[in-house]
Structure 1
């Protein structure tokens, strides 16, 4: 009779080729992008991660399942029942507790409440990659005075992630106030002429303040990962 680990590996070969050595090679583990996958495919990947951790008797590297639906989350929790499910960020993390923070602080700024799902994804990603993280919310340019209340927090950061939809102007404002690099995240929030985040993306790419890097629309994971690398010890 085949061992459970062998069964899991046989199933995995039909779904994915996990890069188990990425954490050793790059310092950060592989993430699992759930959105185009079926719940069964995500369950197979989660089982393979669990079985590999058990076979090596080691502390598993952090596994992040991004863009997870409720069905994806249930599939992960079936085999990793202690995993942490954050529905607003659409992210599942295992083990459930982030590592002790090292390096510099990452501050994530959300222009509006509608940008919070992407901002939470960025903040959780940076936290699970080992950075102390703060979240500043609802400080968009419609009430620009609000950002000045948080200057102490912003200026203490090693990296700042700014998440904004609509006109996407906030990253340029923040970059003019702080010395740290700014990772700008356009979101798909906005009315028709925002074109699903393209207007915000173009604004961020054309910001006149130096020190801004721009990730893809709604890419909170990519922003949090980049900020964690910038703030590494």
Structure 2
């Protein structure tokens, strides 16, 4: 019987209060291993988002907000900032402390600015940075192919994966390395964009670039013998 099964799996199932059904008391059990993922399309997403925001430290808020920008809003800043502003308006006097609300507002303000500006609003400059064109051949890969390379490096664990390296951070890092726009790289790292740019031609070009790199490494290895 189910009752016997629940008793055998006592670490997983916990008996709850009895409920009446058809005039009879029915026993209930709770499955402790069950996981319910709250997604943006759920009606109560804003409430759970706010509750989570309330229970994290101030130093974690930036990472939390960046995670949901990439994973819940597909890097759509306009929609996300609107959601955050309405959420603050609805919950800041009920659930969120003034410090949390102020930190969120600072994050919005910072991310509304150009991606090449720091928190103080000053433009960050990279020595020798050039303005890139789509196919200017300054590097072996164009902007879309560079985004594909980042994706492959993540999958291959050459660099940190999504939960430890957000798309905006990866975009900024590779912007410094390649000269491409950090914001454009970030956009091309979204799931939808990666599907669009993962053409046979682009993948082949990335593959050839990696093979060229491998040959350079092998040459260096031979010289070390």
Q: Give the structure-2-normalised TM-score.
A: 0.31
Higher-Rg member (1/2)? 2
Greater strand content: 1
Q: Give the structure-1-normalised TM-score.
A: 0.30
